Chain A
Amino acid sequence: MAVVFQKPKSLTDAVLHYCPGCTHGIVHRLVAEAIDELGIEGRTIGIAPVGCSVMAYDYFNCDMIEAAHGRAPAVATGVKRSMPDNIVFTYQGDGDLASIGLCETVSTACRGENITIIFINNAIYGMTGGQMAPTSLIGQVTQTSPYGRDAATQGMPIRVSELLATLEAPVYLERVAVNSVAHVRQAKKAILKAFKNQVEGKGFSLVEVLSTCPTNWGLTPQKACQFVEEKMMPFYPLGVFKDKS
């Protein structure tokens, strides 16, 4: 029988633990496809975050390192500086990258480390059960913003791609989404490019992926995809924020 669809080589056989409708699985696949297509599996080293994707180290077939919360860019820096010919990527959520690890994120981008960062923005802390994230929207109800995020007391959400675009060093910054087939296709292109930039020695690339969290948003998977389109995209517009590649 002809094979028409199969798992990328860069994913292990481990069964993903993600909730139904969560888009982590899609993004994992896109990352693995990019690694496969570039033929870099044997020299890729991934850094997993703390958050829902903490166990990404079991899912990617390349060598993997589990980092402390928010520190993945620093760990990636240490890896890349000691193994400059290897391909190094981090996979981080919004709490990890944009809150506790913001200093590491900005500083690593500022140095223009030749690494690739995949940034999952689902506007909520998933693993700990749905608390407010730095990227939670105004009015968004979470466990720690039960009356909706209030700008006066809880501040405004942070636009990471736009923030990093003010820096000189980053080579490529794009925000994509995975809530529709068309958007997934675009996300695939962006992720592939972010890895290709590194292979070509161009420098720091980050792809921000608007993702879903049906469980903690309290929405069905389908409605969650609509939420991305209708609520997130107006505040987090898709597009390329920097491209020097």
Chain B
Amino acid sequence: MAEKVLMKGNEAIAEAAIRCGCRHYFGYPITPQTEIAAYMSKRMPKIGGTFLQAESEIAAINMVYGAASTGRRTMTSSSSPGISLKAEGISYLAGADLPALIVNIQRGGPGLGGIQPSQSDYFFMTRGPGHGDFHIIVLAPATVQEMADMTRLAFELGEKYRMPAMLLADGTMGQMMEPVVLPEESNDLDSIAAAKPWAATGTGMKRPHNIINSLYLKPDELEKTNIERFERYAKLEKEECRWEEYLMDDAEICVVSVGITARVSKNAIVAARKEGIKVGMIRPITLYPFPKEPLAKAAARVKSFLTVELNMGQMNEDVKLAINCSKKVAMCNRVGGMIPGADEVLAAIRKEAR
């Protein structure tokens, strides 16, 4: 088995990206994700890659757009306010059907907000962060190991479905260290690029020119691209939903939570089980596509749901939609950088058990 190393979540993402063949990183400093940029600035020059500190988040995402246009694995990372600035570029990536990795280590908002952990970009990310009708793949790791593993998954899914993919985590996940087994090195960068015949790499006078574009002035053509894109999303929703079920076999209460709050919830669930409360958890791993099916199935047998989240109830709405409001969906939440303690989650579970 490969060696376990101790790394921060942010560093694990950076190293995993490099091992997945990402050689072009463009970013701009912002807490609490700056370790990614710092790590890339150390490593990239030594492996013939690009680390570029852009003049703005806007420039960084457009550099990603350029590198992605050439078919290379490329990425940027930021935290909530920076992602607002990237929204323009993300929309263009989606409109031009370009795969790229975007990391969002969330902090509290709106506005400048704070720098402590948050999950308040949930709506913004899962509804397609930018103008127009589109989605990006959104993955929500809950361990440093998952941060590394999902970096690979994000590149692969993004390329398979030709769309941007995001790792969405909170500040805690980015800052914490845990043992992690890093993905194996992929050395075959050329074949990754060669699998993209649509890329702008120069015609070599051997083929007609490729155009990377999101402009369609004829409405019927634009409509066609939108419909085709949503057919891809439908396939993604059908085939790529990922989630974890924890103690759900006999559960009467189903906690739904992601990232750091899913971990706090696990502690609370263990404590509640000791009190004889039948509680389990469904932890969505893909936020888009959202794992509606396991939630709908659970709705047939549990008494109620309890979302635990670091926002004012954004995922709560998705759970209600997934189960068609057939059961109560309660909530335990803190915002602004506060994180509910296991005792707070336990109290909320007890309330549902009554």
B63 with A75: CB separation less than 8 A:
yes
Closest to B54 in A: A74
Within the complex, what minimum Cβ distance (angstroms) separates A110 from chain B? Answer: 8
**Residues of A74-94 whose CB lies within 8 A of B:** 74-83, 86
Check if B24 is an interface residue, CB within 8 A of chain A: yes
Check if A60 is an interface residue, CB within 8 A of chain B: yes
Within the complex, what minimum Cβ distance (angstroms) separates B45 from chain A? Answer: 12
Binding stretch for chain A, among B9-17, B135-143, B153-161, B196-204: B196-204
**Residues of A3-56 whose CB lies within 8 A of B:** 12, 41-45, 47, 54-55
In the complex the two chains form, what is the Cα distance from A43 to B64 in whole Å? 20
Check if A107 is an interface residue, CB within 8 A of chain B: yes
Within the complex, what minimum Cβ distance (angstroms) separates B278 from chain A? Answer: 52
Query: Across the interface, which residues of A come within 8 angstroms of B60, CB to CB?
Result: 74
Check if A57 is an interface residue, CB within 8 A of chain B: yes
In the complex the two chains form, what is the Cα distance from A67 to B61 in whole Å? 11
In the complex the two chains form, what is the Cα distance from A34 to B214 in whole Å? 28
Binding stretch for chain A, among B205-213, B245-253, B257-265, B306-314: B205-213
B215 with A54: CB separation less than 8 A:
yes
Check if B337 is an interface residue, CB within 8 A of chain A: no
**Could you mark each residue 21-33 of chain B with 1 if its beta carbon is under 8 Å from any beta carbon of chain A, else 0?**
0011010000000
In the complex the two chains form, what is the Cα distance from A192 to B56 in whole Å? 31
Binding stretch for chain A, among B69-77, B229-237, B316-324: B69-77
In the complex the two chains form, what is the Cα distance from A67 to B66 in whole Å? 9
Binding stretch for chain A, among B88-96, B173-181, B292-300: B88-96
Check if B122 is an interface residue, CB within 8 A of chain A: no
Check if A120 is an interface residue, CB within 8 A of chain B: no
B203 with A78: CB separation less than 8 A:
no
Within the complex, what minimum Cβ distance (angstroms) separates A107 from chain B? Answer: 4
Band of interface residues on A: 35 or more
A78 with B214: CB separation less than 8 A:
no
B69 with A104: CB separation less than 8 A:
no
Check if B188 is an interface residue, CB within 8 A of chain A: no
Of A47, A68, A74, A80, most buried by chain B (CB within 10 Å of CB) is A74
**Could you mark each residue 139-169 of chain B with 1 if its beta carbon is under 8 Å from any beta carbon of chain A, else 0?**
0000000000000000000000000000000
In the complex the two chains form, what is the Cα distance from A170 to B56 in whole Å? 20
Check if B346 is an interface residue, CB within 8 A of chain A: no
Within the complex, what minimum Cβ distance (angstroms) separates A80 from chain B? Answer: 8
Within the complex, what minimum Cβ distance (angstroms) separates B216 from chain A? Answer: 11
In the complex the two chains form, what is the Cα distance from A57 to B63 in whole Å? 18
**Residues of B12-54 whose CB lies within 8 A of A:** 23-24, 26, 50, 52, 54
Check if A63 is an interface residue, CB within 8 A of chain B: yes
In the complex the two chains form, what is the Cα distance from A138 to B92 in whole Å? 35
**Could you mark each residue 100-117 of chain B with 1 if its beta carbon is under 8 Å from any beta carbon of chain A, else 0?**
000000000000000000
Contact of B74 among A64, A82, A106 (CB under 8 A): A82
Decide: A42 near B203, CB < 8 A? Known: A62-B209, A64-B209, A64-B212.
yes
Give residues in A with beta carbon < 8 Å to B. Answer: 12, 41-45, 47, 54-55, 57-58, 60-68, 71, 74-83, 86, 103-104, 106-107
Give residues in B with beta carbon < 8 Å to A. Answer: 23-24, 26, 50, 52, 54-56, 58-60, 62-70, 72, 74, 88-89, 92, 96, 200-206, 209-215
The 6 closest A-B pairs by CB, nearest first: A78-B66, A78-B63, A107-B55, A74-B62, A63-B200, A75-B66
> What are 5 A-B pairs with beta-carbon distances under 8 A?
A47-B66, A63-B202, A74-B62, A78-B74, A82-B72
Known: A65-B65, A68-B89, A82-B66. 5 other contacts (CB 8 A): A63-B201, A63-B209, A68-B92, A74-B54, A78-B64
